[in-house]
Each structure stands twice: as C-alpha cells, then as structure tokens.
Amino acid sequence: MAERFESVQAVRDGLRDVGYLADEGIAGVAFLADRLEKPVLVEGPAGTGKTQLAKSVAEMSGARLIRLQCYEGLDESKALYEWNYKKQLLRIQADRNSDAWSDVHDDIFSEEFLLTRPLLEAIRATDPVVLLIDEVDRVEVETEALLLEILSDYQVSVPEFGTIAATQIPLVFLTSNNTRELSEALKRRCLYLHVDYPTLERERAIVLAKVPGVTENLADQVARVVRSIRQLDLKKPPSVSETLDWARTLVLLNFDTIEEQTAKDTLHILLKYQSDIVKTVKEIDSTSFA
C-alpha cells in the first residue's frame, strides 16, 4: 500500500497546516502507525486533543473520517453490522413456496441484506479512511472482543456470510480517558500514545493559532494562569478546549490583560464545578496567577 507520510517532520508540518500543533512524540507515533500498519491507542486526560488528532490526520491526508462513538451498552449491531431483518422477512414471505430452505437461507444472508456499521464500513472502504474509535474505555470489557479481529487482522468475520478482509488498511485511532483499565489483548495490538496537557509554550502557541484577535501578551497570560490552575486539587482541571473558550471570551470582552477580578468574573468559562471555582478564587486571593 502507498505510504501516507514521507517523514515524521512531514506529519508535524501537515498537522500544523490544518491547525493541530503536534510535538515530536505525537507526529512520530502517527508516522509509525502508517508505516507499521498498526492502530494507535491514544490515552490521556479529557480535552487534551486526542479526538482532534484523528480528525486532523484525516484532514491533512485527505482521508475520509469514520467515527465510532463508544458508550456503555454498545453492541455488535451498532459497531460492526446487522442484518436487515424486515427485508429478510419480506423475502422469506415472497419465497414461502420454495422447496429448499437452503436456497432461501443463502438468499437472505447475502450482500443485499447486510447493513454495515462504522467498523465494517471502514474495512470495506475502497478510499483512504481514518477510523476513530472514540472513548473506547466506555464500553464493557466483553465488548472489546468485537474490536480485536479488526485491530490485528483488519478483517471482520460474519458467521452467515464469511470473512470480509480490508481492501485497504485504514489508519485507526482509539481514544481513552482512562476511566477504566483496557484489556491486555487490546493494548498489545496497538501502538501507544499518551497525550497530556500541553507545555506552557505549546499551549500559548495553540491559543495564538486558534483564537482570532488574541495578542501574544494575553495568550501568554492565559497559558500561565491555566497552568497554575491545573496544579490545584480540582475535580476537573481545565482542558485545552476550555482554555480556548476562555481566551475567546477574554477577546470578546475586550480584555488585553488578565487582572484578578477579570479572572474571578470569567472562571465559569474555564471551570465546570462550583467547588473548583471556589477553590480557585481562594487561590487567586492569596497569590498572583498572571
């Protein structure tokens, strides 16, 4: 298969061109995933850009993004495939005078009656695809078994139909917020990437790239304040997306600098629990963030 990326630097440059500021580690794993034809398991705190990484890789490579959003109770019929039972029943009724059940069986378990879901759709695609399996830690351990055949062999076995192998190898990203430990079977099939909160310099660069009208001074202050807040013992530290929301708010309110009162008045944009806001206000009263 044709290689998607020429080098690690090419990945980094391509992601930057679509607005995703990747470090060397992120770009390196994306490059290896393509060359080794292996899925990538991306773990880390919520809101650090794990899902956006897959979206940006799809955009930079011109591939179609197919997304499976995981949730508790996700099953085969929503993730892989299911049979069009209503259409099968109509066909059985139409063929009720057939002498051989085997003829009817072979007819109703054919391509015409197969409904593809995201995983099977990615396997059967003839165009370049990035498959995003988002928040895989939300599904039960038993449900992970549905993924193993795809992650190792890029194929799906349908008992009534046969094995469907990939016509092209999709680039696969699985994201996890670490709400539970994933199985060893799943982990050993994947390359591993941990995406943590960005460094001060990288978060400043993200704010400058993503927030129209923000000044370098305000971007620097936003990054420093957020970094200080994340060091507190909070129920939910601010994510990168919330950093950007806060920066956009400050720009819309025409603030060029962050004063104590400004920070207090806009903390509800950055923090989502009242206990975290109260704790942060107390810290602002005793120290200087900006």
**For the chain (length 290 residues), average pLDDT per consecutive 10?**
86 95 94 96 93 97 96 89 80 66 63 85 93 95 88 88 88 94 94 95 95 96 96 94 96 93 94 95 75
In a domain, 285, yes or no: no
- H/E run at residue 174: strand 171-176
Burial class (CB in 10 A: 0-12, 13-18, 19+), 209: middle
Instruction: Kindly state whether residues 47 and 163 are assigned to the same domain.
Output: yes
Instruction: Kindly state whether residues 214 and 186 are assigned to the same domain.
Output: no
Q: Which domain holds residue 27?
A: 8-74+125-194
Domain end marker among 116, 142, 177 = 116
Instruction: Kindly state whether residues 148 and 62 are assigned to the same domain.
Output: yes
Kindly give, in sequence order, each residue whose CB lies less than 8 Å from that of residue 84, ignoring residues fewer than 6 positions away. 113, 114, 115
Cα separation values, 231 from 134, 186, 287, Å: 27, 32, 13
Instruction: Kindly state whether residues 159 and 70 are assigned to the same domain.
Output: yes
In a domain, 40, yes or no: yes
Instruction: Kindly state whether residues 102 and 42 are assigned to the same domain.
Output: no
In a domain, 59, yes or no: yes
Instruction: Kindly state whether residues 170 and 271 are assigned to the same domain.
Output: no
Domain end marker among 60, 95, 116 = 116
Instruction: Kindly state whether residues 136 and 275 are assigned to the same domain.
Output: no
Instruction: Kindly state whether residues 111 and 238 are assigned to the same domain.
Output: no
Instruction: Kindly state whether residues 229 and 85 are assigned to the same domain.
Output: no
Total of domains in the chain: 3
Q: pTM for the full model? A: 0.86
The pLDDT value recorded for residue 95 is: 66
The pLDDT value recorded for residue 170 is: 94
Domain end marker among 194, 226, 251 = 194
The pLDDT value recorded for residue 261 is: 92
Instruction: Kindly state whether residues 225 and 184 are assigned to the same domain.
Output: no
Instruction: Kindly state whether residues 38 and 86 are assigned to the same domain.
Output: no
Q: How far apart are CA 43 and CA 187, in angstroms?
A: 11
In a domain, 20, yes or no: yes
The pLDDT value recorded for residue 63 is: 95
Q: Which two tokens stand for residue 89?
A: 């029943």
